Structure 1
Amino acid sequence: MADKKISEEEVKRMAVLSNLDVSGQEEKLVLLFSDTLKYLEVLDELDTSKVPETNQVTGLTNVFQDEKNSKTITSKEALSNAKEQSNGLFATKAVFDR
């Protein structure tokens, strides 16, 4: 099988999707990713024809807690120790610029 290569554009796209700053390292990452893909090519040679397909390996199903009513507090109680409040809600500093 021919060597799998990764392009600089693919590295940049992965960086954007991963929210990583890779500026100035694209060429190095192309080599590293290409080396990794070449190393993993050995998996293409494995005979998996007799291995059953799996999509769930733990055997667990519907592992959820039962929903139970529990003691709740009122809005007034929740806001009683709030540093700031506005219209019956917690007030905080803005997270995003407008």
Structure 2
Amino acid sequence: MSQKEEVKVDEKLVREIASLARLDLTDEETKTFVPQFQDILKYFSILNELDTENVPPAYLSSANKSVTREDEVEESVPTREFLANAPQAKDDYVIIPRVHIEQ
């Protein structure tokens, strides 16, 4: 299973990825990310060179164990203190932009 597909990382691709992530990048940030993305893809290409023919698939990283912990009640941040850190608040609620997803 040896697929060699090179992805060309350029400023256009970085801007597209940033747009999908809803990030506004400056030109300088975009230029900074190009070599970083290239490095990330180089690391992934190492995985393509591994022989995984006799390696069984790992469906669960926890080896089918249920990892749970006891619920512990902890003090919460006081409402006024929490709202003081919110960009917008009204009464005891945080105001966020309306989200509308077209289907």
Q: 1:64 to 1:3 in 2, by over 3 A?
A: same
Identity over aligned residues, as a percent?
Answer: 29
Q: 1:61 to 1:97 in 2, by over 3 A?
A: closer
Shift of 1:17: 3.2
> 1:93 and 1:44 mapped to 2: Cα distance?
49
Q: Which residue among 15, 30, 39 is the counterpart of 2:18? A: 15
| 1:47-92 Cα shifts (integer Å, max 9, x gaps) | 0011001121211259699xxxxxxxxxxxxxxxxxxxxxxxxx54
* Residue aligning to 1:36: 40
Q: Secondary structure at the match of 1:49?
A: coil
* Residue aligning to 2:7: 4
Q: Give the ranges of 4+ consecutive aligned residues of structure 1 lying more than 6 Å apart after TM superposition.
A: none
Larger Rg: 1
**CA RMSD in angstroms, aligned pairs only:** 3.1
Q: 1:13 to 1:92 in 2, by over 3 A?
A: same
Counterpart residue identity of residue 15, structure 1: A
Q: Secondary structure at the match of 1:36?
A: helix
TM-score normalised by the chain length of structure 2: 0.50
How many residues align structurally? 73
TM-score normalised by the chain length of structure 1: 0.52
Give the gaps of 5 or more residues in structure 1: 66-90
